[in-house]
Structures are given as C-alpha cells and as structure tokens.
Structure 1
C-alpha cells in the first residue's frame, strides 16, 4: 500500500491530519528477532552482576565487584610462614590454660624427661672430665678397692710384720692387682680411717685432761694434715734432687706414710691403760714394727727403679717399666744409683717413727689427773 501525501491536502489548501493505520500488516514485514539464549548442558552461568546501564562516563567499561568491602581493615601480612603451610601450634595457643594442658600430655612429658636426662649426662661428663684433670679419680678407685678381710689382715701385718714372708706386689699383666686381692698392695683406706680416728682419739684424751676445746680439735686435724703434706713434699724433692728413679708414685708414698697412724693409735690406747709407761713401751715396739714393715715393703719398689722414662700404665702406679729389672726374678741386679735408693729407704724408715712420737707425745698426761672436787 503506497502512501500519498497529497491526499492530506484539503480543498482549502491546508494540510489534513493523517489517519492512524490500524492494520499492522500494512506497515510491512517486522524486523527479525534474535533467537533466545539457551545454555549448553553442564554449563553454570557466571554470577550475576548488577546492570551498568546508565553508569557515569568515568565508569563505563569498568566492572566492579559488589562483594568487595573497601571499608574493612586490611590484615597485616604473615612473614613467618610461607603460604600454604600451617602455622606452629604454639603460635595459635595463647591462653595459659591451653599451654598447661599441652604440658600435661604424656608425650610432652616424656620428651622433657629425655631432654633433661641428656643434659644431666652431658653435665656429669663435663664435671668428671674437669675433675679428672686435677684429681686422679680412676687411680683413687684402685687404692680404695678393699674389703673387711683385707683391712684386718693389713692391720695385723703392720703391727706384726715379722712372720710375713712374701713382700712382692702382684701384677695382672701390666696392671697391679687390687688391694683386696693382694695384701702387699698399698691402699688409702687405712690411712684415711687412721687419720680420722687419730683426731677423735686426740680430742678424747684432751677431754680427760680437761683441755678439750673445739679449737684444739681443729688444731690437731690441721697439724696432722700439714705434716702429711710436708712429708710428701720432702720425699718428692729428695727423689728429684738426687735424681733417683723408683717405681713409687705420689699416691704410693701417701699410702705408706699414712700407715703410721696405726702405730700412733696403738700408742695412745696404751697410754689410756698404763699411762706414760705404757705409751712409751707401745711406741717403741710399734716404731720398730713400722720401720721393718716399710723397709720390707719399699725395698722392692725403691731398689727396682730404672733411669728410663716413665711410661703411662693402667692406674699409673706400680707397673714395671719396659727394660727394667724383673722384680719377680730371684737374682736380679738393680740399675745404677743403688746407694741413693738405700739412703732414701732408710730416710723414710726413720722419719716415720719420729713423726709418730712428735704427733702424740703432747697428748699423753704426765700423771693421773683427778677430777676436780666441787666446793660448797
């Protein structure tokens, strides 16, 4: 249908109003419509966004995430742990109650116990190592390896040495046999017990003479200890100056010097029974017995010395030197310097009885002291 605009011209020469076309088909074919959107099976549509129609010009083409919260405070980054790895449990536990409950777990307690035992073992080893640098602990164990039978037999040997025949020290390969298995081996148990007994007996005798005081006990103990140290210095310096090499060690000399306390205790006990007469009688006999015991015991150790350098031996004391004379042989000849060794042996045998008298004579009362009669 063709539209003619001239038909709208009226007869009066003016324009006529156009008629509304009610027939839609008269306007021609409609514009084609796009097909409806149908998603493929299994496809999930993206999240819906708010329409951006009517957005300001400066926001056109920019898609904003409606889920972002720009007002929330930003968390500080964690630089202690890498992303994807869980943090330590201790970092999450902040309350003391949770920490206490964790410490009560058996696994944690076992770990703490094992760690404590390791620390204690390391500390014990360090202490033993430091003590071993100054005190020969391994050697002291050898000198205190005694039993009751050995102590009784040793006391009888010191007081009655005349019946003893074998004076050689026994060896197990290159190591000396422990004192409990060898009566001739030196020990430090009898000297230590003799020192303590002497101090207590001295205090008892001073008390009988009404001269007891704590200062006197300390003086007796310190003087006896000072004399034993002085003896060791004199013996060591004498051997060094005379260039005399023996099989004796410092602890051997200390043991043999400490045997004099047995004679001192026996003399003081005789003084309690028979006074000064009993004291001097027992002191004379014990001095002879002690000198005989020291000569017989030290003869093997002193005369079997060698001028060769001293090797390191187990326990460090009493082991024979390589190349030296065999002390077990019946017809061995000691090396050079025999005269010096004999003089040293006689020096030790004489000084021990003199020290016995010097440390005990002032403890013996001159006469029987009667107890003072209280006055009314």
Structure 2
C-alpha cells in the first residue's frame, strides 16, 4: 500500500489528519546504522557531539589536544619544544659565564675531575710501588738528617739502638733516630754521582757518558746487592723482621762513607782516601751490626702478619731480648744463620764502597787552581 500525502488535502483546502500505516515494509528499507568504532575520529576544533562511550566513563578527556596535528619533529636537546629555537647571543653567554654561581659550579666540577684522576693514578701506582709504605721512610726533618749522619760517622758513643714503637707500629724516623729511612740513601746516591763527575772533570776525564756510566753502575750494584740479600735469606730459609725497604735503606747508607772518602781523597790524595775509607768502613760496620742485630735475632714474624707489615713486634718468642728463648737445635740453627747473614751484610758494604770509589781518586792531591791574571 502506497502513501500519498496529497490525499490528505480535502476539497475545501483543509488539511486532513494523516493515517497511520500499519505496513512498515511499504515505507521502504531503513537507512543503515553506522558501525561503532572504539576509536572515533574527532574532528579537530569541534567538541564531541555527545557523552563519551561507556568504556570512557570516569576518564577525563583533554579536549584541547590536537590529535590530528602534524607529527612531531626530530628531538632537539638544545631548546625546549614549543619555544622559538634562537641561539644565545655571545654577549649574553659571556655574561652568564661570569656569574659567580656558574664559576663555582665549574670549580666544583673541576675539583671532582681532579680528585677522580688522582685516585685512579694512585690506585694504578700502588699496584707496583708501595706508596703508603714509602711515606714512612721519607718522614724526616733536618734535625733527624744531621743526627743520623753523625750517628753513621761516629756510632761508638750511641747507647740506645732499639727502634721505638707506638701501639705496635714503628715511630716515624723524624721521632726516632734508630728508624731506617730512604731520604739519606737517595740524596747520597745523587751526591755521589755529582761528586764523581766533579772529580773526573778535575782529572780531565769528564764526559757525559762517564756521568751516565757512574749513575747506572751505582744503581745496578745496589739492585744486585738487594737481590743477593733476598736470595741468601730465601736459600738459607731465614725468617727475620727485616723488610725489603729496610734492607734498601741500610744498603744505601754506604753512600755516606763513599762521599766522605772521596772528599778526603780530593784534598789529601790516595793516602787520605784510604785512611778515611778504613775508618768509615769500621764505623758503618759497627752501625749495621748494632742496628740489625735486634731485628735479625728477633726471629720470624708472627704467623698472622706479613713480613712487610709494621704490626710485628721486634721481640718475638725466640728472641733473647723478649724473655722467651726457645731451646732446641732448630732455634739454635736459625740464630746462627741470622748471625752469619748479619756479618755478611756488614762486610759487603765496605767492599762495595771501595769498588765504586777507588777509580775516582787521583794519585796525588790536586793543586789549587791558579788565580786569573790581572788585566
């Protein structure tokens, strides 16, 4: 059945009441319902037409966001997005660098970098060189150096040879004249090389190669000497409280008698050299025997402490100075080996001193230089 709207108009021109159509199929096919999309495309610039979908209820939507805008550009870490990216003028940059707060920040950052670099260097050096232990051997002052030089040259009047300890740790050399140090041996080595070059120059035998030969030979001999002492202790199975740096210190004291003998030979010739060498050799041997016997005869260090540690007391259970003398053939044999090693050290020091200096002494005392002629 078709619907005709014109049939509602009467003959008199009035509007007739519309009739209800009971046949829905006669009205035609209904318009299709649009499919539901979970992500509706919002038209930028317009508000949503209706309330949000059921699954969006309770979620606040930001209607001001532009979801249809262009994609963001590449990140620029120099400037914040959304602001004009204009470079800072050089004048403004210079004024910023002169700000006190900027300078303080730069200073703190530089100090941190320097501290980190210093820690790395110290850590790498400490792997090969015992820096923390060597600080002890260079803790000296002028008074200690003068007293130690007099003790090496005139040791016969000295009575107290025991090394002082403070809470199981040895006292620094500046507070104890009996403590070993490395300052006097190192300065003695440099002085010996310079004095050798001076004496060779007075004899017209100086050359740069001679200075290098003197320095390298003196260094090679002291290294050979240290190796010889350590091998002797290892082969004879002798355990002592002496450390490697202690042996190096006592071996370096021979440069004092070498310098004294060369000075005597420079002024008095061969006779003065040999007289000075004999006296200083006896003085050095006496000094070494008195100093080393307490540490050599003290026996091996404690089991829980290394031979390089400073916590070991110089008087062990097997020491005659500690009150706990051990009886038995092993203890007696160990004591004999320590005594032999002590005599070995006391004898080799004068011999090496003579070997390193005899070829530098002139046959006669050098005459004083003539004054320059007057013009």
Could you say whether these structures have the same fold, taking a TM-score greater than 0.5 normalized by the shorter chain as the test? yes
Structure 2 residue corresponding to 1:295, chosen from 278, 286, 289:
289
C-alpha contact (below 8 Å) 2:266/2:366 kept by paired residues: no
Structure 1 segment 52-67 matched on structure 2, within 5 A: none
Among candidates 303, 313, 316, match of residue 309 of structure 2: 316
Q: 1:89 to 1:281 in 2, by over 3 A?
A: farther
Contact 2:288 2:346 in 1 (8 A): yes
| 2-structure distance, mates of 1:372, 1:106 | 65
The aligned counterpart of 2:133 is 139
SS at match of 2:127: helix
- CA drift at 1:371: 9.8
Name which of 342, 348, 362 aligns with 2:359.
362
Partner of 1:77: 72
How far apart, CA to CA, are the structure 2 residues paired with 1:221 and 1:89? 70
| 1:110 Cα offset (Å) | 2.3
Residues 167 and 297, structure 1, Cα contact 8 Å, conserved in 2: yes
Cα distance in 2 for partners of 1:160, 1:372 equals 33
Distance 1:280 1:91, change over 3 A: farther
* Matched-pair contact (CA < 8 Å) for 1:159–1:289: yes
CA distance in 1, matches of 2:84, 2:91: 13
Q: Tell me the alpha carbon deviations over residues 71-117 of structure 1, each in whole angstroms, 9 at most, x when there is no partner.
A: xxx86624649xxx954989653655554444443333322222121
Contact 1:295 1:346 in 2 (8 A): yes
Aligned to 2:115: 121
Tell me how far apart the structure 1 counterparts of residues 313 and 347 of structure 2 sit (CA, whole Å): 27
Does structure 2 retain, via aligned residues, the 8 Å contact 1:195–1:261? yes
Deviation at 1:123, TM superposition (A): 0.9
Summarize the Cα distance change of 1:89–1:242 in structure 2 as closer, same or farther, 3 Å threshold: farther
Structure 1 or 2, whichever has the larger Rg, is 1
| d(CA) in 2 for partners of 1:298, 1:237 | 18
| RMSD, aligned CA | 3.1
TM-score, length basis structure 2 = 0.71
Equivalent positions of 1:315-334 (< 5 A) are 316-317=309-310, 319-320=312-313, 324-325=317-318, 329=322, 332=325
The match for 2:350 is: 353
Q: Conserved in 1, the CA contact under 8 Å of 2:299 and 2:316?
A: no
From 277, 283, 304, the counterpart of 2:298: 304
Aligned residue for 2:156, secondary structure, equals: helix
Contact 1:143–1:186 (8 Å) recurs in 2 = yes
Instruction: Give the Cα separation in 2 of the matches to 1:351 and 1:268.
Output: 19
Q: Which 5+ residue runs of structure 1 have no aligned equivalent?
A: 1-63, 66-73
Normalised by the length of structure 1, the TM-score is: 0.71
Of stretches 99-108 and 296-305 in structure 1, the one that deviates more from structure 2 is: 99-108
